[in-house]
Amino acid sequence: MKMERNSLTPLYKQLASALRRRIEAGEFNSGEAIPAESQLVQSYQVSRITVRKALDLLVNDGMIVRQQGKGTYVRPSLIKETLTSLQGFAEVMVDTHPEQVMEVIAFEFIQASQAAAKALAVKEEARLLRIVRRHILDGSLLAHATIFLPYDLGRLLTVDEVSTTPIYKLLQEKGGVSIKRATQTIRAVVANADMAAALQTSVGSPLLSVNRRTFSAQEIPVEYIELLYQGNRHEFALELYRNPEENLLRPVSNVVRVADHAPTSPEEVSQQ
């Protein structure tokens, strides 16, 4: 593979274009390593400086990412969620990335902790179903979810069902629940040891933390979920208007109170 050395286009831009075409053609899949710098130097008969400048262009374009000490990879798929309608993360993934895997780590009935009892408006000694589930795409962990359901709804579900089906769909189909609304908080956090272990990432990595309470048409809390997302794999998007009357989203006064106890690890809620 040779570069057009008499072209007015600099060699590093030619190389960047060649690599971009190979990525877009599917030669390298999402999350897959591209050839090392030394291989590119040999394959394209260019200098290492040219290779690095070409890779810099692709990094800046968001096409590849560098991982120190590991190599350079095609940027994994970015998961996008809109905030203009109520949709669970599992529903988003089923719709946009049906190849994702939901791995159930825990499925157990527990005594409600203080935070979970408050979120679901039940007594602390009440029994709840606790589900811990991980979402995997392209061989890497996208999200870690800890889900709490009231006993009367949780007892209707099985491990097999929650490993393949979104919770909202199960609540509707098996529990006869008509879901009306949810309150949600989103925070940027730095991974501590527990969070890093949950998402198989490094301590100090940027994460998104989402806590959400879901209510039925009767205004009864039917689900409380804590989600941790890889910060570089996820984004939320919404459209805002200057005129408040044109915005579909409304401020919710009880969101802050729901998040008064903000867990610092995926397991903290169940350990209280």
Higher-confidence residue of 224 and 75: namely 224
Report pLDDT digits (tens) over 171-192.
Answer: 999 999 999 999 999 999 999 9
Burial 95-107 (b: 16+ CB within 10 A, else e): eeeeebebebeeb
Report pLDDT digits (tens) over 232-252.
Answer: 777 888 777 877 777 666 555
| Domains defined for the chain, CATH in brackets | 11-74 (1.10.10.10), 79-271 (3.40.1410.10)
Residue 166 above 50 pLDDT?
yes
Task: Please tell me the predicted confidence (pLDDT) of residue 213.
Answer: 96
Residue 77 above 60 pLDDT?
yes
pLDDT band at 114 (very low <50, low <70, confident <90, very high): very high
d(CA 5, CA 32): 30
Task: Please tell me the predicted confidence (pLDDT) of residue 161.
Answer: 96
E-assigned strand segments in the chain: 64-67, 71-74, 79-82, 101-111, 127-137, 140-150, 179-190, 206-216, 221-230, 234-237
pLDDT band at 259 (very low <50, low <70, confident <90, very high): very low
Residue 257 above 80 pLDDT?
no
Report pLDDT digits (tens) over 187-206.
Answer: 999 999 999 899 888 888 88
Dihedral sign for Cα atoms in the order 114, 120, 122, 125:
negative
Task: Please tell me the predicted confidence (pLDDT) of residue 251.
Answer: 55
Mean pLDDT of the chain: 85
Pairing of strands 234-237, 179-190: unpaired
Q: Any idea which of 56-60, 240-244, 249-253, 257-261 has the lowest mean pLDDT?
A: 257-261
Task: Please tell me the predicted confidence (pLDDT) of residue 60.
Answer: 82
Residue 153 above 50 pLDDT?
yes
Residue range 35-53: mean pLDDT, rounded: 93
Closest CA to 258 of 217, 202, 201, 210: 210
Alpha-carbon distances, residue 210 vs 147, 186, 226 (angstroms): 12, 5, 6
Task: Please tell me the predicted confidence (pLDDT) of residue 230.
Answer: 84
